[in-house]
Structure 1
Amino acid sequence: MTTANARPGATPERRTPTPQDFVEMQNSPEFQQLRKRLRGFVFPMAAFFLVWYLAYVLLGAYAHDFMATKVFGNVNVGLLLGLAQFVTTFVITGIYVRFANREIDPKAAAIRAELEGTPQ
């Protein structure tokens, strides 16, 4: 069915991209910008989390007195920092989802639509 004969509200036909189409798209400025933007977010965020996690492990291994410092009741610094690891994981996930929804997904959808020959 061609778009000229399409029923109102019908989904337009998608074409199947060829391997050459994928190679050309991978070399396109739009794709390169998308990849640079994604890497510019993911790598620093991953490095931050790994450093934060390593610091926690090293403190647990070598700073026993500091980690055992009571904050209130039976809650010590080590427990609070351990719980902060979970909080940090959820916060980073939320930040990434917001970033992806705002920055990555619209550009990726545009690239996909261009490859498949469908309007956005």
Structure 2
Amino acid sequence: MDNQKRILYVDDEQINLVLFQSMFNKYYGVTIAESGIQALNLLESMNTPDVVISDMRMPGMNGLEFIAAACEKYPMIDFYILTGYEITDEIQEALNQGVIKHYFQKPFKMKELSAAIEAS
């Protein structure tokens, strides 16, 4: 499993972290973080993931703020936003600028998310 894709999933809701990890851990190397700050710290200490998927609405630092900070140091990572809301102008702008590759709505569809991860 040396070629297994590595994913960092960021979400402030514990249930979402547990759900994501239980669904994807048998296919990918999954690391989870409860905030953008924790995720930035993890990026410093872990093997660089292939994919980062972040919730949009989190306290302190939203998903796009986290991704903008991470993208500066790790431009080789594919970043995705996961949100329970419709696409916003801010998310659309990040897509247009190539900051994120795609956005997904909660509840996410495992096949759709897996296809994006595999394409990364």
- TM-score, length-scaled by structure 2: 0.22
Whichever structure has more strand as a proportion of its residues is 2
Whichever structure has more helix as a proportion of its residues is 1
Relative contact order, CA 8 A, sep 6+: which one is greater? 1
